A and B are shown apart, each in its own frame.
Chain A
């Protein structure tokens, strides 16, 4: 397989079957160094299986992969030295403290002995666990566990980081913390990040490019905005009206059959919405005017990944 010089992950026809089920189906991917790639798909789409294949902990049924220039199937040990993985379930040892856990994994990842204790302290500090570092994990909240698991995957400063649904099941505050940590860590140096998620907003906020996976098959790949432009024929609009008429405008727009994903800004009289077709804009303007809601501004927006999802999956799938 000929790989681009700067590519960190290259797969060709990568396939994994479990009995009659094809969990990953002829995956062709090229991921560049320094890239944050969002691997987007519903539950069961094949994200976790792909991470396992790319780390050489599961063997492929067909196809090839090169990760950091190595073959995961035969060079798994050497490869895993250079990758870090946040598994879907944190996979922490409940009966150990955070500090013990990190120190043990530092040994497993061969962090130079003289650096272990400083590195552990540094990570506990960075992941806001310093004051609880000597407590057993069994007493940790979900957010703390996720931060600890994340710290563990950063332990040996991996060149390539796999994050499998890093924020699923977390509350909004923990989610934001985790996002900040991922962004900070991926900014420092030329890390490549492979981020599995079923959260569109997360992918949009963190990723340079997004690959959309459905039933093990890659259905689209590109920058979020670019994907939107290519795959979605509709428009996303920002509508500004007068403060007095927000309620009225909102009810008109909600009643407009073609409008989707309608949201109202918290502090300003601005509504955003998506329309499947720009030909529907004049109609909407007419209705707003007829209802007596003044229109101060009507701006087209970049499409979101959610819009792409609608284009790809249709309504039921996207809201599942």
Chain B
């Protein structure tokens, strides 16, 4: 593998992407809302809401009572307010965090695969002395690296935002727990790869960045499902379940990328135009 060429492709794609408003806006705004503003608001206002005059404490207690027993046992010593915080900020938000790697990787991959087809800029790259594999790896990294960077930054910001806003209630640093570490360092890289794979697959079928981005955003749906199932108290993200989730995501990612590597052949790409 020609490292210099791969890095040149990454540099080219990142420069291109960083100068596109259509790509950069979601990359900045979504993490700020989802990972900073929302936890801050929840951490700060939720405890206060339990003291509001028209709130039925019984309903809140009922809501917490339907949570899995193991989870309830973990927080037996917490007050009602603390339980609400821990439940929302540690558990409800965890699946939402996976939106970061998925969104960043799909938006960038849609730009660098389908967008490039749309702009007709791939041809000069195809004539360079790179192998098909080097081209593909370069393009993969140019989506995967920023996806990881945005995710890690979001993780840190989320931690600061959650701990700070909930400090009056919690009085100690409660975030992250072991499950979050598994989520960030095992599931997130897989999710970033899965987003790349999905966008590569979709990009081979459609011809514009917008179509590719919208279609590949479908990978976010399972996450919404996960949020719902957890809210209903069916499951909760234990360490073991998070590890298992990572395994599933990695398998799906590797399968998609395996397919991608085999179909990313310059002579087929050029013949399909």
Residues of A in contact with B (beta carbons under 8 Å apart): 18, 52, 55, 57-59, 77-81, 83, 85, 87, 89, 91-96, 100, 104-105, 107-110, 136, 149, 152
B123 proximity list for chain A (CB < 8 A): 87, 89, 91
Contact of A80 among B15, B20, B122, B127 (CB under 8 A): B127
Majority SS at the chain B contact face: helix
* B8 close to chain A: CB less than 8 A: yes
Say if the beta carbon of B73 comes within 8 Å of chain A: no
Which of A77, A100, A104 has most B Cβ within 10 Å?
A104
A57-B266, A80-B128, A85-B127 in contact; A100/B271 too (CB < 8 A)?
A: no
State whether B16 touches A108 (Cβ < 8 A): no
Q: State the Cβ distance, A68 to closest chain B Cβ, in Å.
A: 12
B164 to chain A, nearest CB (A): 38
CA distance A239 to B153 in the complex (A): 80
In the complex formed, the residue of B with least CB distance to A164 is B123
Bound together, the chains give a CA A145 to CA B139 distance in angstroms of 25
Chain A: CB-nearest residue to B10: A104
In whole angstroms, what is the CA distance A309 to B47 when docked?
87
Question: CA of A83 to CA of B4 in the docked complex: distance in angstroms?
Answer: 19
A140 to chain B, nearest CB (A): 14
B130 lies within 8 A of A77 (CB): yes
A52 is contacted by which of B4, B8, B270 (Cβ under 8 Å)? B270
Query: Complex Cα distance A288/B22, Å?
Result: 70
Contacting residue for B127 out of A78, A87, A95, A136, CB 8 A: A87
Q: Is the CB of A94 within 8 A of B267?
A: no
In the complex, the chain B residue whose C-beta lies closest to that of A156 is: B129
B15 pairs with A96, CB closer than 8 A: yes
**B8 in contact with A107 (CB, 8 Å):** yes
8 shortest interchain CB distances as A-B pairs:
A107-B8, A91-B124, A80-B129, A81-B129, A95-B19, A108-B128, A85-B127, A91-B123
**Contact between B124 and A152, CB atoms less than 8 A apart:** yes
**Are the CB atoms of B267 and A110 closer together than 8 Å?**
no
- Contact between A18 and B271 (Cβ–Cβ < 8 Å)? yes
Pairs across A and B, CB under 8 Å, 21 listed: A18-B271, A52-B270, A58-B270, A77-B129, A77-B130, A77-B131, A80-B129, A85-B124, A85-B127, A91-B122, A92-B121, A93-B12, A94-B121, A95-B15, A96-B12, A96-B15, A104-B11, A107-B4, A108-B128, A108-B129, A149-B124
Beyond the given pairs A91-B125, A95-B19, 13 more chain A to chain B contacts, judged by CB atoms under 8 angstroms and listed by A's residue number, are: A58-B270, A80-B128, A81-B129, A87-B127, A89-B120, A93-B12, A93-B15, A93-B16, A96-B15, A105-B8, A108-B8, A109-B129, A152-B124
Q: Are B267 and A58 in contact (CB under 8 A)?
A: yes
Interface residues of B (CB under 8 A from A): 2, 4-5, 7-9, 11-12, 15-16, 19-20, 119-131, 266-267, 270-271
With both chains docked as a complex, state the minimum distance between the C-beta of B12 and any C-beta of chain A, in angstroms.
5
Specify the chain B residue showing the minimal Cβ separation from A52: B270
What is the bound-complex CA distance between A91 and B16, given in angstroms?
A: 14
The answer to whether A93 and B7 have CB atoms under 8 Å apart is: no
Within 8 Å CB of A108, what residues of B?
Answer: 5, 8-9, 125, 128-130
Residues of A within 8 A of B9 (CB): 108
* Residues of chain B with a CB closer than 8 A to A57's CB: 126-127, 266-267, 270
> For residue A93, which residues in chain B have a CB less than 8 angstroms away from its CB?
12, 15-16, 121
Q: How far, in whole Å, are A105 and B126 apart by their CA atoms in the complex?
A: 12
Q: Known contacts A52-B270, A57-B267, A80-B127: does B20 contact A104 (CB below 8 Å)?
A: no
**A149 closest partner in B (C-beta):** B124
B20's nearest neighbour on chain A, judged by CB, is A95
Q: Name the B residues within 8 Å of A87 (CB-CB).
A: 123-124, 127
Bound CA–CA A298/B5 (angstroms)? 62
Assembly CA distance A18 to B7 (angstroms) = 35
Asked whether A94 and B5 contact (CB < 8 A) given A57-B127, A77-B130, A78-B129, the answer is: no
Of the candidates B4, B119, B131, which one forms a contact with A110 in the assembled complex, judged by CB atoms under 8 Å apart? B4
Q: How far is the CB of B116 from chain A (nearest CB, A)?
A: 9
Q: Give the residue name and chain of the A residue nearest to B11 (CB).
A: A104
Q: In the assembled complex, how far is the CB of residue A102 from the closest CB belonging to chain B, in whole angstroms? A: 11
B63 to nearest A CB, angstroms? 49
A77 CA to B129 CA, complexed, in Å: 5
User: A18 CA to B2 CA in the complex, in Å?
Assistant: 32
Cα separation A109 to B2 with both chains bound (whole Å): 11
- When chains A and B are docked, how far (Å) is the Cα of A42 from the Cα of B42? 68
In the bound complex, do residue B7 and residue A100 qualify as a contact, i.e. CB atoms below 8 Å apart? no
Quick one: which of B11, B19, B127 contacts A55, CB cutoff 8 A?
A: B127
Task: Please report the C-alpha to C-alpha distance between residue A52 and residue B269 in the assembled complex, in whole angstroms.
Answer: 12
Distance A95 CA – B112 CA, assembled complex (angstroms)? 13
